[in-house]
Amino acid sequence: MSDKTTPPVLELANVTKTYQVKQGLFSAPRPLHALGGVSLRIHKKDVLGLVGESGCGKSTLAKVLLGLEVPTSGKVLVDGKEITPRERKLQARRIQPIFQDPYSSLNPRKSIEDIIALPLVAHRIGDAASRAGSVRRMLDLVGLPQRVLKGYPNQLSGGQRQRVAIARALVMNPEIVICDEPTSALDVSVQSQILNLLGDLREELGLTYLFISHNLAVVEHLATRVAVMYLGRVVEEAPAAELFAGPRHPYTQALLESVLTPDPNLSVPDTHLGASYPNPIAPPPGCHFHPRCAQVRDICKTTPPPHVAGPQGHVDCHLHAAPAR
Amino acid sequence: MARTIETVAEELRAPSPAAILRKRVFGHYGLVFGIAVLAVIVLIALLAPLLAGHDPYAQDLVARMKPPFWMEGSDPEHLLGTDHLGRDYLARLLYGARISLSIGLFAALISGLIGTAMGVAAGYFGGRVDLVVTFLINVRLAMPVVLVALAVVAILGGSLQVVVCVLGLLLWDRFAVVMRSSVLQVRDLEYVNAAKAIGCSTRRIILLEIMPNVVNNLIVVVTLEMAHAILLEAALSFLGLGVQPPTPSWGLMISEGKQMMLFEPWLIAIPGVALFVLVLAINLLGDGLRDVTAPENRG
């Protein structure tokens, strides 16, 4: 669990990312707020699960953390020190990515050895012999046989490829690993192996994960804290056990209800969400969630929701604002 | 899992990568044919002084227009006969291979460097760079190659160097177009993002992450443009504005033979066939290399 006395190892302070979307030749581009002021704190050895529907800004957040996108405003702090885009290369040693699709995240022209050694080569760490040693240790760590070293990605299965991607992410001894849906492209049987591997590695190496997923079961399995995103905002954040036991935000409640159960007698759960995800270029006024909210009130349609801090997390919702309680 | 790891490991252990590559190269008949023919032509070009037996420039006005060996009245001294100035046709053909090959090689090299640099920059950086490069490509495509080459050669005078430079500066458009679109396809793949997130420099990403994945397209364009340059040189020489006589160029030989075309068709058939075989071999080589190096075919 997070220790509130130590500073967070990774902190996002009111990060926004706005894209200009062109809508035709003569109309002016309109802003799309992919991230509308996200603040998150991740403590050492925590696993922050980030959940939300497709298009809610999860991947944009990962790209900002990885330095692939420059935030429009706000700060990214590692160990309390602000990281500017120019210091990206230093930051890269400490924050490493694991991507969603292991079929496209490994360069098909490179051998497995070259792929895993790439971070070391890019940062000029060690000589050829020490790099080869590190690569071999990583293979052991992620449970791949040494014989795949000279092979190419297309000779491996999806699960093995994802193990290679994990080895590449860990070869630099990073503190933080950004996992962007690391299991969603894998078979169900392989998913659990990769998740267990990630869990074991966290224990062994003291890693901190930002774990992005739309699969709540996966998040419940691995995360210590959970943040729920909706339209570029974190609407609820709480320790995992607390959030799954008692979701406070109506959106979180709907998400948890939407989890499919293996019981064939139950039909597809009704989440009251409807099918339509709002247009992110023209988000609804007030609380962005109000058109789909089961507990909508008049105030939700006009006023943005307050930031209600709880004992362990926060929720952005009128329902939990002080007078309503 | 353990079983799949073991089986994959077995597959990996069996043949070495070099053996796999060898097997794939020799299994591709077009590629084997292209390599063999091109190798013969390169050897001929290199060993021309040894093979020819005659000076390609030496005129012998007594022995003019001797027919080649398969026709009546041929001279065993001149296997492929002699031209209208009594020069040995075989010697001129062999030395002509040097001209054609060097034009193809250097023109493709120059245009390849220009076009690849522009195309990769446009594809990778996008935005304004892309706008400028696309504009330059369009400008270049609006110029008729043969007419511009004719005009430039007419102003500067024809010579091997001028022809190589003109063709090199004119034929980069396909390199730029193809490289731009291939890089566009590759640059948003996750392994490029991974390399960026890992902290690789832009130079490393372009040279080691992107280029190896687009180089098979580049090879095809190189061979196409080599063949294109060789044919254009022949066309320019035929029109009298390419390589200047008495240099033995295949295009020039066709040009010099055209007055006698109706009576002595072999005068243009021989260099014509040589051109055809060379261009065919280069195209087969390019196609084959593309097939063999494509990563989806790697066994």
What's the pLDDT tens digit per position in B273-286?
A: 999 999 999 999 98
User: Which residues of B make CB contacts under 8 Å with A?
Assistant: 1, 4-6, 8-9, 11-13, 17, 189-191, 193-201, 204, 209, 212-213, 295-296, 298
> What CA–CA distance (Å, rounded) separates B222 from B204?
23
Cβ-Cβ contacts under 8 Å, B190 against chain A: 99-101, 104-105
Query: CB–CB of A148 and B190 under 8 A?
Result: no
What pLDDT shows up at residue B269?
A: 86
- Closest Cα in chain A to B200: A122
Are B102 and B94 in contact by the 8 Å Cβ rule? The answer is: no
Are A18 and A72 in contact by the 8 Å Cβ rule? The answer is: yes
Chain center to CA of A221: 15
Cβ burial B78-92 (10 Å sphere, 16+ → b, else e):
bbbbbbeebbbbbbb
Chain center to CA of A137: 27
- Of A61, A105, A161, A99, the closest CA to residue B189 belongs to A105
Are B114 and B169 in contact by the 8 Å Cβ rule? The answer is: yes
Are B78 and B89 in contact by the 8 Å Cβ rule? The answer is: yes
Are A169 and A97 in contact by the 8 Å Cβ rule? The answer is: yes
* Percentage of chain B exceeding pLDDT 70: 92
Fold held by A10-246: Rossmann fold (3.40.50)
Domains of chain B and any CATH numbers: 27-297 (1.10.3720.10)
How many Cβ atoms from other residues are within 10 Å of residue B114's Cβ? 18
* Cis upstream peptide for B246 (omega within 30°): yes
- Counting one residue from A and one from B, how many pairs have CB atoms under 8 Å apart? 95
Which ipTM did the prediction report? 0.79
Best mutation target among B21, B191, B192 (most A Cβ atoms within 10 Å) is B191
What sign for the dihedral angle of Cα A239, A240, A246, A250?
A: positive
- Closest Cα in chain B to A169: B198
Mean pLDDT of all residues in B244-270: 83
Query: CB–CB of B193 and A106 under 8 A?
Result: no
- Closest Cα in chain B to A98: B194
Task: Kindly state the DSSP code that residue A269 receives in the 8-state scheme.
Answer: P
What are the beta bridge partners of residue B107?
Answer: none
Are B149 and B229 in contact by the 8 Å Cβ rule? The answer is: no
Q: What is the pLDDT along chain A (325 residues), one digit of tens a residue?
A: 444 556 788 888 888 888 888 777 677 778 888 888 888 888 888 899 998 888 788 888 888 888 888 888 888 888 777 777 666 666 677 888 888 888 888 888 888 999 999 888 888 888 888 899 999 988 888 888 888 888 888 888 888 888 899 999 888 888 889 998 888 888 888 888 888 888 888 888 888 999 998 888 888 888 899 999 888 888 888 888 888 888 888 888 888 877 766 666 766 666 666 666 777 777 888 888 888 887 888 888 888 888 888 777 888 888 877 654 4
User: Which residues of A make CB contacts under 8 Å with B?
Assistant: 63, 66-68, 88-89, 91-93, 95-97, 99-101, 104-110, 118-119, 122-123, 144-145, 147-148, 150-152, 154-157, 159-160, 165, 168, 178, 190, 193
What pLDDT shows up at residue A325?
A: 41
Domain boundaries in chain A? 10-246, 247-276+285-325
pTM, whole model, 2 decimals?
A: 0.78
